[in-house]
Structure 1
């Protein structure tokens, strides 16, 4: 009897260990932007973990840091899936670091706006959110009518601009160029920023960094993506979203999957869940992301705080990802020489 019980105990222990090992193995590692992580945890990460019986490991950072990590670990990926800008997705794809997206494994794919289905035309990314980019400012202290106001005397010493290496950097170049009448030579725009560099409080890399500076009233105006607007809207200070005469810039953030990560099925499951009407609605109602799922319906009040609907999306000034990728190295070199110095 003792021998039989021992064998049963050993069998149960082995089964428990196997179950634990299986659960431990079912882990998805994602790379995301650092903002709104509490909201993502509530609306996306924890519900998905409960649904799939898996663990979601979340890594955050700015675009440069996260792309560098993917590239450094290309031979043995440590990131399964990432959300990045269209230009960063194109850059990673050109380095053969991404896996093609099999849309047949995404049940919510057909619910997306057409422009989100294959934003770069290479089958390597799928859009999950659109964003407008404009200028957030203190409406009690200044009035913003043009992107050119960012370099004006009234804002000297009180403005922040995005670093050229971040998502907002090229968009700000484009819109400043429109204000200056420089719609093709962005090198001249960089030179002009360089001439005003002493008037810029900082060149920020993370929207969370900008939120802190503006809450501390060290900065009263700065370009920012609409996806970060909720952090300002709820801050208790009179922040406003500018409607400059040149219009708003815009773009799309996309989902990508690293090549040969070995965790593709779980990554597809997570991507599909994120693109669902339910999750995209939750995240939109939290004022975190504007939906790429065209079935999402929100109140007029919420829509006013998002990049929402075909009419708004079609009005955005969008710089092609290929233009950014082709020119980024030269822009960064000139930026370091003339702006950062």
Structure 2
């Protein structure tokens, strides 16, 4: 049996506790001048309040009540459990949850009529909103690497199998969406794809013979960066940019290409303040806010027509041309097969 350095899985419990906690004085519906937002915790909450909530309230007079929850999947589970009326008006999720909400008829329609700034969102992104949400930022799966191991940026994902570097790679569990993207990349490299994942599990089994650890969340990679024991591993560019400033690591996109990850906003069908939720989405998609959010969260914008400094643009998806280069996984296929993929992944790393 292959042995891995164990990872303490306390984040799930923390997320569950956070989901029950409101950061506002009143997370309920209140009056008509409020919008209740359910989103991610930790640094996301801080960035949202400073860059979105406070200036939105100043501009519109609408108070934003923020509830720090868990992952997008956990937030959508709350919507489903409440049959579309979970007690909040706007959910920060991913496009995988938008697809599920469309299938379940539990999310309200989101169109250009209600959100005029959606007109500035590229068609490639609009195709993944399913008429029930909006994309508000774009990330990509990058290759994080130790600068000491790689004086020059690695050019291929294959370094994770190299005898020289493989001992320090991290294999992310597909219970985390980062692990799903990693599998899709492996499938593509092995001649398969989203409809033929066999090559991904074969390569995972090979990598598991020497891998350093199998994290369940992206945060679990941080200690390995702090100790500099990790060599190369997949990581979202948003977090990668943060840790590239505080650790001896940098990130790049290998020549084989990568997948985009779409941050999304959805409105539960039973929301009490839909009009205010639409206004907040439209505000978030405005040019000034998209630029501010991109810099704050280290992500690509969801609209076109913005200009970024060269060093930022080199690391993130900031132009239509860069967006065209990345792959976007079919959400329905991922949602349908994710449980099975996780089971096969567990067999591969055993």
Match of 1:102 in 2: 111
Return closer, same or farther for 1:243/1:295 CA change in 2, 3 Å cut-off: closer
Whole-Å separation in 2 of the counterparts to 1:198 and 1:57: 44
Match of 2:6 in 1: none
Larger helix percent: 1
Whole-Å separation in 1 of the counterparts to 2:108 and 2:283: 19
Shift of 1:127: 1.4
Contact 1:136 1:242 (C-alpha < 8 Å) held by counterparts: yes
The secondary structure found in structure 2 opposite 1:137 is strand
Per mean C-alpha deviation after superposition, the further-off stretch among 131-140 and 59-68 is 59-68
The secondary structure found in structure 2 opposite 1:284 is helix
Contact 2:287 2:306 (C-alpha < 8 Å) held by counterparts: yes
Contact 2:187 2:198 (C-alpha < 8 Å) held by counterparts: no
Aligned length: 318
* 1:307-322 alignment, distance < 5 Å: 307-322=317-332
Verify: 1:291 aligned to 2:294, yes or no: no
Match of 2:85 in 1: 76
Q: C-alpha deviations, 1:15-63, integer Å up to 9, x for none?
A: xxxxxx9569724122237554433322112222333341321323234
Q: C-alpha deviations, 1:194-222, integer Å up to 9, x for none?
A: 45435333333433333343233242322
Structure 2 counterpart of 1:39, from 25, 42, 47: 47
The secondary structure found in structure 2 opposite 1:202 is coil
Larger strand percent: 1
The secondary structure found in structure 2 opposite 1:108 is helix
Q: C-alpha deviations, 1:278-313, integer Å up to 9, x for none?
A: 111112233522111213222222212321101111
Structure 1: 5+ residue stretches without partners? 1-20
* Coordinate RMSD, CA, aligned: 2.6
Match of 1:92 in 2: 101
Structure 2 counterpart of 1:129, from 125, 129, 137: 137
Contact 2:84 2:269 (C-alpha < 8 Å) held by counterparts: no
Whole-Å separation in 2 of the counterparts to 1:312 and 1:280: 17
Match of 1:4 in 2: none
Structure 2 counterpart of 1:57, from 66, 83, 91: 66
Per mean C-alpha deviation after superposition, the further-off stretch among 124-133 and 271-280 is 124-133
Whole-Å separation in 2 of the counterparts to 1:29 and 1:252: 18
Structure 2: 5+ residue stretches without partners? 1-28
Whole-Å separation in 2 of the counterparts to 1:155 and 1:173: 19
Per mean C-alpha deviation after superposition, the further-off stretch among 32-41 and 167-176 is 32-41
The secondary structure found in structure 2 opposite 1:240 is strand
Match of 2:286 in 1: 276
Shift of 1:149: 2.2
TM-score, normalised with respect to structure 1: 0.82
Whole-Å separation in 1 of the counterparts to 2:106 and 2:275: 18
Match of 1:230 in 2: 241
Verify: 1:202 aligned to 2:213, yes or no: yes
Per mean C-alpha deviation after superposition, the further-off stretch among 193-202 and 270-279 is 193-202
Return closer, same or farther for 1:178/1:115 CA change in 2, 3 Å cut-off: closer
Per mean C-alpha deviation after superposition, the further-off stretch among 92-101 and 306-315 is 92-101
* 1:155-166 alignment, distance < 5 Å: 155-166=165-176
Per mean C-alpha deviation after superposition, the further-off stretch among 30-39 and 255-264 is 30-39
Q: C-alpha deviations, 1:99-154, integer Å up to 9, x for none?
A: 2213212131212222233424x311221122221211112124633223223333
Whole-Å separation in 2 of the counterparts to 1:198 and 1:35: 34
Whole-Å separation in 1 of the counterparts to 2:318 and 2:292: 14
Whole-Å separation in 2 of the counterparts to 1:285 and 1:161: 29
Verify: 1:178 aligned to 2:188, yes or no: yes
Whole-Å separation in 1 of the counterparts to 2:63 and 2:41: 21
Whole-Å separation in 1 of the counterparts to 2:51 and 2:40: 15
